[in-house]
Amino acid sequence: MSGTLALTEQLIARASVTPDDQHCQQLLIERLAAIGLACETIESHGVTNLWAVRRGTAGTAGKLLVFAGHTDVVPTGPLEQWTSPPFEPTQRDGRLYGRGAADMKTSIAGFVVASEEFVAAHPDHRGSIAFLITSDEEGPATDGTIKVVEALQARGERLDYCIVGEPTSSATLGDMVKNGRRGSMSGRLIVKGVQGHIAYPHLAKNPVHELAPALAELVAERWDDGNEYFPPTTWQVSNLHSGTGASNIIPGHAELLFNFRFSTASTVESLQSRVHAILDRHGVEYDLQWSISGLPFLTPRGDLSDALAKAISDETGVTTELSTTGGTSDGRFIARICEQVVEFGPLNASIHKIDEHIDVAFIEPLKNIYRRVLEQLVA
């Protein structure tokens, strides 16, 4: 059994359902401290975070490459639907099964073993290596990576490169790298009306009727055209509710929940102001509350994406594609203090599903790709 596979199985065997780390990070600390990384645990409201760093001989003049990821996993779902227990790593038919196999304990194991091999081969490496690991990525993400980023920001820590080990591959290992993510912004719109008897509409004010023309315009609006890396911004209704359930009552209010998935082609302020303008133009009486779960981030082609593309090609022969598809990730926080942030990891077809798995044949190549990037950027 390879060292990467063995460590992956050790991590899967710990039922670290968010935000309970189940001492996964302690296992990482033991391995990382042994190769000279100074390890610091940062706890916040039951969330365990790890910041570990090994400074290179060039000190602050050298580049700092960070491996980032999460030890927490999503809940298993119905246990009886799993072919084998989710926290008993099981190999069958060339695959390793277990919760977190793809998202993202294999990546973390790959980070660790790649770093061990790199340090053994280059004990006097010029650049620096760091790990930023949280147990709060699959949950609210309020006490995880963001807390470490805030602490590093307060210290003036400079991060040059960051690889987030999210499962980004689509059809085969290495075919896709994420160099950015769209932002996510939601709205809760309450349209005010006057409740009344449906036979006397002149004595009431139907909020659904008030909303309808504005809603049609919001649906038809083209918010932007996207850019080289991002598709156009989308606006979608997630819920629309009004009325008491009775067929003879005009409702007193209507509630609309909606969400923007937006790129760097738009800003929070521009999208919000345009929504308000449409509602105001149609004379809607309303209250609107906004919530932002993530801002967009983008890393244009540069040293990190080039090094990763070369490592993938050299290891697998695959030509990778840069993409910004998918939901949010902790890269959105790290991008605040790091100019070059990309995500790369195993296939994502089984993540969050029953019988989550990874092809065993991809485990060593994944680790080797991470090591090749270290050799290009840190040696």
Single-letter amino acid code for the residue at 53: V
Q: Which of 137, 210, 330, 356 is catalytic?
A: 137
Helix (H, G, I), strand (E, B) or coil at 10: helix
Q: Is 137 a catalytic residue?
A: yes
Measured in whole angstroms, the distance separating CA 250 from the mean position of its chain's CA atoms is 43
Whole-number Å distance between alpha carbons of 2 and 60: 34
Q: What is the dihedral sign for C-alpha 347, 349, 351, 354?
A: negative
Q: Which of 9, 20, 21, 72 is catalytic?
A: 72
Strands 176-178 and 90-92: unpaired
Q: Is 72 a catalytic residue?
A: yes
Helical (H) or strand (E) element with 207: helix 207-220
Q: Yes or no: say if 99 and 86 are a contact pair by the CB < 8 Å rule.
A: yes
Here the tokens at position 129 are: 């290596």
Phi, psi of 142 (to 5 degrees): -100, -15
Count of Cβ atoms closer than 10 Å to residue 239 Cβ: 9
Whole-number Å distance between alpha carbons of 89 and 14: 10
Here the tokens at position 113 are: 């073993």
Bridge partners, residue 42, by sequence: 49
Q: Yes or no: say if 131 and 119 are a contact pair by the CB < 8 Å rule.
A: no
Helix (H, G, I), strand (E, B) or coil at 290: strand
Termini Cα distance of the chain: 28
Helix (H, G, I), strand (E, B) or coil at 347: strand
Task: Mark residue 229 as left, alpha or beta (left: phi above 0; alpha: psi -120 to 50; beta: remaining).
Answer: alpha
Q: What is the dihedral sign for C-alpha 48, 368, 366, 363?
A: negative
Single-letter amino acid code for the residue at 239: N
Q: What is the dihedral sign for C-alpha 138, 143, 148, 153?
A: positive
Q: How far is CA 286 from CA 155, 192, 220, in A?
A: 44, 6, 20
Q: Which residues are catalytic?
A: 72, 137
